[in-house]
Structure formats: C-alpha cells, structure tokens
Homo-oligomer: A and B are copies of this chain.
Amino acid sequence: MPTRSKIIYTFTDEAPALATYSLLPIVEAFAASADIAVETSDISLAGRILANFADHLDADKRVEDSLAALAELTMQPDANIVKLPNISASVPQLKAAIAELQALGYNVPNYPEDPQTDAEKEIRARYGKVLGSAVNPVLREGNSDRRAPAAVKAYARKHPHSMGKWSKASQSHADYMRGGDFFSSEKSITMEKAGDVRLEFVGKDGQVQVKKQLSLLEGEVLDGMFMSCKKLRDFFEDTLQDCKETGVMWSLHVKATMMKISHPIVFGHAVSVYYKDVFDKYGKLFDELGVNPNNGISSVYDKIKSLPASQQEEILHDIHEVYSHRPEMAMVDSVKGITNLHIPSDVIVDASMPAMIRNSGQMWGKDGKQKDTKAVMPESTYARIYQEMINFCKTNGAFDPVTMGSVPNVGLMAQQAEEYGSHDKTFEMTADGTMRVVLADGTVLMQHEVEKGDIWRACQTKDAPIRDWVKLAVTRARQSNTPAIFWLDPERAHDRELQKKVEKYLKEHDLSGLDISIMGYNEAIRVSMERMIRGRDTISVTGNVLRDYLTDLFPIMELGTSAKMLSIVPLMAGGGMYETGAGGSAPKHVQQLIEENHLRWDSLGEFLALAVSLEETGIKTNNAKAKLLGKTLDAATGKLLDNNKSPSRKTGELDNRGSHFYLAMYWAQELAAQTEDLELQARFAPLAKTLTENEATIVAELNAAQGKPVDIGGYYRSNPELTSKVMRPSQTFNNALAALR
C-alpha cells in the first residue's frame, strides 16, 4: 500500500467557501478509497485576521496561522494544495469582517484608520498583512501552467459561445505611446554576484534621497524604467483630438488594481486631461477639497458635496460642457451614466480588451449602442498585442470557437518575478533630477533623467524561477506535444537579459523532437493566432504580466470565459498547487443564497483542479487508485458539461449543490464502469446504483430547499453547522454518501 497522502483543500470566503460545505464531503468520501486524506486549511479573510491576532484572543478562540503553515508546505516536495479564490480585502471589507468577528465574541482590535500610538501603529501593520492580495504572493512558490482542460474545450466546441462579427472596415484600434513610456526607457541588468543596491533620487542640487534598498541574489535581473508625465499627457490629448476628428469612441484601458501605484497615476492624468477645462478652472478649489483625479471623476462629485448648491451646479455644468467638445467616451454603465473615467477599477485591461475584441471590437456608448473604439493603453509594452489581434480580426474575421486551437500559458511568476505592480519599487517623481540604481560600492548600475511627475519603477526577477520556468515550458511542450514560443521582445532590455538565460537553461534539457522558439510579442501572438485559426495549439511561454493578460485573452476567445481554465502552480520544491476559479469569490452569490437559498457558484474549477491534484498524487506516490480517481473525475466533469448539469442562475433550478450531486453520480458511474481496478469498481458500484436510481428524488429534495431565505450565521465567518445544513439539504444523497464510508 502506498503511504497515506494528503490533499490540502483551502477554505476561503464567500461563494467558494459555501460550495465547499457541499463538495468537500463528496471529495473526502471518494478520495478515501485511494487512502488519500483531504484536509482543509483556513485562509479566509476572517481566518487570517484571527491568526494575526491570536495574542488578543481567549485561548479557546485561537486559530493556527494556516497561511503561514501553507507557505511552509509549498517548500515541501509532497505539497498538494487545491487553492480556491479568496477575498483580496479592501479596507471596507476588512472593517466589516472585524465587526462580524467581534460580534461573534472574538476580541480582535478595531482597524485604526489613522494610527497615532505605537500600539495602534503595530495593529495597523498587522492588518496590513491581511489586506489586498495577501495570499497569492505567499503561496506562489512556483511558476504558472494554465490551459483549457480537454472537457472544457470539447464543451466550447460543441456549444460555442457567441462571438461578435468583425467588419473589415472596423475603425477600432489600440493606441499606445510611441516613446516616453516604460517600454522605451527600460534598462536591465543581471547581477553577477549577490549584492545590495539602492534606488535613489539625485536632485538638481545634488542632494541624494534613497528611495529603497534591495538585497539582490546572484543572477537576479533588475530593471529600471520610467514613464514621462509630459509625454503621457500629450499622448492623451492627441488621442482625444484624433477621436474627435475620426468620430471613433475614446476608451481608456489600464490595470489600476494590479499596477497599484503606476496605473492609478496614469488613470489620473487621463481624467485631468479629458476634463482639462474643469481642472484648469477649479484647480485651486479642487486642491483645497482634496479632489484626487487618480480616484476618477467621481472624486470631484464626492468632494464638491461640501460646497453650496449653486457652486456645485456651476461645476457640474462645466463638467457637462466638457462633453460637448471632447469625443464620446466608452461607458461602463450607460444607463447610470458611468464612464470609463468614473473610478479607476472599473475597466481592467486584461478583462476589458478581450471583451471588446469578442464584441466586434466595439464598446458601449452613452446611448447604449456599440461603437468602434480607440482603446487607449498608454504603455506600449503589452498594448501592441491587442492591436495585433484587432488587425487580425479585421483581416480574418472573429475567431470561431468551434474550430479554433488553444493557446495555453506557461508563465513566469514564482517568487514575485516581474511584479511590476509592486508598490514598493514604484515612485512618482516630486522634482526634476536623476533616478539611479547604485551598488553598495557606489557603482551606478543604471540611471534615468526624470522630471517632476514622471513615474519611475524598478522590477526584480530572480534566477531560480527563470530556470524553473524554462524547465516547465519544456515539460509542457513534451507532455502535450505542442510547439512552445517564448515571448521575449528583442527590443526590450529586460527580455534581452531573459533571453540569455532562456538560451542557457534550454541547454539543460533534451529538446529532441520539440518545437521551441523565441519571438517578439507581435510575432509570437501572430504566429499563435495563425495556428489557432487552423485548429492548432501553441504554448505561450511568457513573463508575469503577459501571463496575466493572455490567460484572459485567449480563454475568453476560446471558451467565452477564463474561469474554466485549469490553473496549476507546479511548486519549485516539487509539490503542486491547483488554483481554481479566476472569477473571484463572488459576493453577489452569497446574497442570493441568503435571500433565496440558491447558490449559483459553479465549482467547475474545483472539479478540474481536483482531478489534476488526484492524478499528481497518484503519479508522485505511485498510487494507481488515485490516478484512476483523477481520470474518472475528468470523465465525470466532461459528462456533466455535456449534459448541461452546471448550476443555473435562476432560483428553483439546479444550483451548485445539484451540480455536485451530478458530479458524484457521474463519478461513481465512471468508477463502476471501469475495469482497471476491480476493488474500486466493487466499492463504487452500489453508490452509482443508488444515485442513479434516486436521481429524481435527490434533485427534487435539492430544489425543494430553494426559494426561502436562510440563516448561515455570518458572512465572513459563517456558522459551520448552520451552513452545512443549508448546503446539504438532500437526506437521500447524504445517506448514500455515508454508506460509502
């Protein structure tokens, strides 16, 4: 017998956490048959708060720090983690969670908005570790392997999602800076040996201000680059004039959520250029009021509320006037009058651009109609790939989900590689001068002449993750017998450094029979698309940002969504993490459950991740039963998709729980039907029989529960017993599962 192995199933927040109450008992029951334990690890927002304030809690209320334990586990070769989506908490969410925990008797401190004392500052610092994207950077001790699972691809081919027709005469296009942006100023070096560097600003007066110190490893790649504020503003003005002349709608696409420091500033310039007349006229007043264009034009609406009504009206009138001489702007919500410049987080380039391309290259105008659009994406580094795809669609028409091939991704991500969004190395210049990167011995590694308002940033990429990434690319190319393209632009300083390493590390592998190449972004996406429309697959091997962009772009064309992608993080230490559900943790789903007892969350991502998790366990521990469980789970998922047993959005119809029942039934049927392992066959035949015979009863019991409000005893930390009762309402199903044990 193989040693008893363990799958860690993360317990997170909101809809995925609710679904876990229903799905986990099924998974545990099936996995036990291969002697695999499925354990949960609580990395929910509430759990993280409690773990960080254990010293404030009564002994019986304390919880272990699961995230820290999980981080440890990622360093172990036998790690096998199924990672569900969790809340990346904003301050309002954090405060709500604190209040809920306090009400439940957990003595956690309030969040100090404006900490004064050392104690308050200490508390604030602890909460800082809980805020935002606190989980992924800690757990992602590996690179990324994302692909469309065969069952999902087959489903999309059979039931193709809608694709807007493209006109050859479309005026839509991507527009980006042709100089003055990060791309054109990027410099990059590779550390010959480990060492400390200072990022420092030298003023015109010679004064040196150290912005940041970094300890770099041998072989680590460090980049420096900046975006010119002047050129950025000129660029925005040019795009607006161009739209005015051509009648094409104007739309801004940035990623203020990921590029936490740089993109809100870029967004703010867009706001203050578009509404230039208003910002010129009321500049002083706005400063006094604390208007911040980086928060969108909504900041003006918010802050002027304190003014007399007549003054408010005058400002609103002037804002309205702007629209008469500026081009039409794309709307986030034309009914409510919410434009792309309202708040910075509404339009996120990696989601908005695929949506536009899928929608005939059009976005929505203020009249609610689709229109050709200038997609303004100042930073040219990645924007060019969208222009390439737009040109491709103009020439070849919309992609066809029925015939198109796939573009899986192998992404460099481990140990925070290429984290351009990292706020700790991005700075908005407060004066003219020089930004430079200096070694401890005073050697200047690179420098840029900058002006006030310019955005300068550095970026680190360690050597070990690059080496692992190359290995993963070769492994995936071999396993899937698919050509792989490293997307490295010969005109980018950073990519030239990476290319040297890629060429070096490729030599460590047997490449015989593989088709592995290195191309600039335009060429890479073009070749991938040419292959794709001919039904051929091509692995994109990319850096971190392209990973993020492409794993939305191609899946949205191929599958209609990126949520159905298989997302694996083969950990560098040898273990594996299987991420699920790119769609977030879905607060609206919780609301529907509480009000109508219908959970529309689709656990497809969990099914897919579990299948790989089981298969990997089988391979690594030489456990044939585990491999068979994985294989049959995949088949069951295919059947589920094929028979359309995914959750409906409508209360009263099949929901998350019903889809779990069907998964269990199909899975049991697959195991009962196979003859590879007679023990498993014998074990699951009775369950298959029971579930098949009781299908109507169970579905009726599950659906009967719907339609009424339910109480689960909390939002951020619901009551386990109440929630379990709500999520497992079919006694017939529960009994059948219990009989398996």
Seen from chain A, the residues whose Cβ lies within 8 Å of a Cβ on chain B are 167-171, 173, 175, 242-243, 245-248, 372, 374, 387, 391, 394-395, 522-523, 526, 530
Contacts and interface: CB of A to CB of B under 8 A. Distances in A.
Contact of A169 (B242, B387, B391): B242
Contact of A246 (B169, B248, B374, B395): B169
Given A391-B395, A526-B526, A170 B171 contact: yes
Contacts of A170: 171
Contacts of A246: 167-169
Nearest to A387: B395
Contacts of A245: 167
25 contacts: A167-B242, A167-B245, A167-B246, A168-B175, A168-B242, A168-B246, A168-B374, A169-B171, A169-B173, A169-B242, A169-B243, A169-B246, A169-B247, A169-B248, A169-B372, A169-B374, A170-B171, A171-B171, A173-B394, A173-B395, A391-B391, A391-B395, A522-B530, A523-B526, A526-B526
8 closest A-B pairs by CB: A169-B246, A169-B171, A391-B391, A169-B248, A168-B173, A387-B395, A171-B171, A167-B246
A246 B394 CA distance: 13
Contacts of A372: 169
Residue among A167, A246, A395, A522 with the highest chain B CB neighbour number at 10 A:
A395
Nearest to A391: B391
Nearest to A171: B169
A372 B169 CA distance: 9
Contacts of A243: 169
Contacts of A374: 168-169
Given A168-B246, A169-B248, 7 more contacts: A168-B173, A168-B175, A168-B374, A169-B243, A169-B372, A169-B374, A387-B395
A77 B171 CA distance: 56
A243 B391 CA distance: 19
Contacts of A175: 168
Contacts of A248: 169
A522 B523 CA distance: 11
A214 to B, nearest CB: 34
A243 B387 CA distance: 23
A177 to B, nearest CB: 13
Nearest to A520: B530
A523 B526 CA distance: 9
A372 B394 CA distance: 15
A394 B526 CA distance: 16
A523 B520 CA distance: 13
Contacts of A394: 173, 391
Contacts of A523: 526
A374 B395 CA distance: 12
Contacts of A387: 395
Contacts of A173: 168-169, 394-395
A168 B530 CA distance: 23
A87 to B, nearest CB: 40
A108 to B, nearest CB: 54
Contacts of A169: 171, 173, 242-243, 246-248, 372, 374
Nearest to A527: B523
A564 B169 CA distance: 34
A173 B167 CA distance: 10
Contacts of A242: 167-169
Nearest to A239: B168
A526 B243 CA distance: 27
A184 to B, nearest CB: 14
A529 to B, nearest CB: 11
A70 to B, nearest CB: 45
A284 to B, nearest CB: 37
Contacts of A168: 173, 175, 242, 246, 374
A78 to B, nearest CB: 46
Residue among A169, A171, A374, A523 with the highest chain B CB neighbour number at 10 A:
A169
Contacts of A391: 391, 394-395
A90 B243 CA distance: 50
A658 to B, nearest CB: 44
A526 B170 CA distance: 21
A631 to B, nearest CB: 37
Nearest to A373: B169
A365 B374 CA distance: 26
A245 B165 CA distance: 14
